[in-house]
Structure 1
Amino acid sequence: MFKTTYWAACLCLLAAPTLSGCANFATTEQQTTSVTTFVSAQNPFFANKRGEGAGDTQVRKQGVTYISAGPLMDVRKCNAEMTSCAWGVAKLISRVTLISADNASATVAVELFYDLGRKQEMTWGNTVITDAISDNIPVLTDNATFLKKVEIPYGQMRRVSFGHGVDFNICAIPADARTLIAVDDSCDLDGIMSGKTAQAMVPAL
């Protein structure tokens, strides 16, 4: 069974510095910053829509690496006649560290691990979630890594694109230091999730 709904939540764990090479950057106390991340795949049946996805928005502590694993996403590739298709299950693990922030931008370290194959697993709390493509269906396989330290202007979405329509989006915006609420909705994900904003329109990270 292929899923076409969005996940309402994703796994976000505060990792100890020893878990990631991104966690050892020097930091300073500056602007309180809300960081939004979103992992999604192209809808297998509708070219202009996203399929499965998981988003997370929260104020990030400087110097802490936030690890997110999931969701598991079904993707496919068909021939021109649409008479034969191969399928795969994609998983993207992200490690994001807010290094510093000022009144105009945030500097982040982003580390991504992309894997595509017949079967994937992820842990959500005490539950192990598995997604697999049947053995009688042709399978897609792929894997890639991404590592970059980059300054992102506030309110400007950025993306990292992988094979077969899998994308990672990130956006940062100042937040009120007392309420921890973002100052505006410029990092809103509605356009990306609905497909009204094509990933190709979002600048690469």
Structure 2
Amino acid sequence: MKTTYRRASLCLLATSILAGCANFAPTAHQATSVTTFVSAQNPFFASKRGEGSGDTQVRKPGTTYVSVGPLMDVRKCNAEMTSCAWGVAKVISHMTLIDADKNAATVAVELNYDLGRKQQMNWGNTVITDAIPDDIPVLTDNATFSKKVKIPYGQMGRVSFGHGVDFNICAVPADPQTLIAVNDSCNLDGIMSGKTAQVAIPEL
């Protein structure tokens, strides 16, 4: 199986106005560092994440940040591990910081999850493609998530999709002068190793 995109360290970010969140009026003045992370279960180690892409930056209230990718390979096998199906997963996220106070950040999150034989994404001027060969059984799935959520600072929230694909979000206050997070409680190393506790964000 040939994969043209692995373990990217940065998401592609583009600023746009999300129609579904247009009615959310920003009310916050607290500088807020927001971390988002998309990952898939490691196909060969059940307790660890296999592939992923994260981004941390101070978000502007009322601005929607769009992130596409990464492309992630997932698999599902029978009990004897003699037959496996594979798929390529992609998550597109739209995240808008609505409000932030001394205790928590309120964000509007819209996610689109797609799993199939082939996925594509743009990386600068390059089109990235990942595909499962035609002679291998394929996994297919898709889902959406849309919710306004309040996340206590330093708490890693998670939206889980099928076949071990997760979207994580975490927020902490940022110094208004340096725009640097006041602590490292949203560090992503623990997510990849499977050691960081996460709180599931409920579906609508």
Does the aligned pair in 2 maintain the 1:90–1:120 contact within 8 Å? yes
Q: How does 1:28-177 map to 2 (within 5 A)?
A: 28-177=27-176
Does the aligned pair in 1 maintain the 2:151–2:170 contact within 8 Å? yes
Unpaired runs of 5+ residues, structure 2, are none
Q: Which amino acid aligns with 1:50?
A: R
Q: Which amino acid aligns with 1:36?
A: T
Does the aligned pair in 2 maintain the 1:20–1:65 contact within 8 Å? no
Does the aligned pair in 1 maintain the 2:30–2:100 contact within 8 Å? yes
Instruction: Assess, with a 3 A threshold, how the Cα gap between structure 1 residues 59 and 110 changes in structure 2: closer, same or farther.
Output: same
The Cα of 1:29 is off from its aligned counterpart by: 3.8
Does the aligned pair in 1 maintain the 2:90–2:113 contact within 8 Å? yes
Distance 1:6 1:49 in 2: 14
Paired residue total? 200
Tell whether 2:198 aligns with 1:202: yes
Does the aligned pair in 2 maintain the 1:22–1:96 contact within 8 Å? no
What is the TM-score when the length of structure 1 is the normalising length?
A: 0.94
Q: Which amino acid aligns with 1:31?
A: Q
Unpaired runs of 5+ residues, structure 1, are none
The Cα of 1:2 is off from its aligned counterpart by: 5.9
2:183 maps to 184
**Mean alpha-carbon deviation: is it higher for 24-33 or for 43-52?**
24-33
Does the aligned pair in 2 maintain the 1:23–1:65 contact within 8 Å? no
Distance 2:7 2:191 in 1: 12
Q: Which amino acid aligns with 1:140?
A: L
What SS class does the counterpart of residue 56 from structure 1 fall into? strand
The Cα of 1:155 is off from its aligned counterpart by: 0.6
What SS class does the counterpart of residue 21 from structure 1 fall into? helix
Q: Which amino acid aligns with 1:129?
A: I
After TM superposition, which residue ranges in structure 1, 4 or more long, deviate above 2 angstroms? 1-6
Does the aligned pair in 1 maintain the 2:12–2:67 contact within 8 Å? yes
Distance 1:76 1:60 in 2: 34
What is the TM-score when the length of structure 2 is the normalising length?
A: 0.94
Does the aligned pair in 2 maintain the 1:39–1:92 contact within 8 Å? yes
Q: Which amino acid aligns with 1:181?
A: I
Identity of aligned residues (%): 76
Distance 1:106 1:2 in 2: 40
Cα RMSD (Å) of the superposition? Answer: 1.4
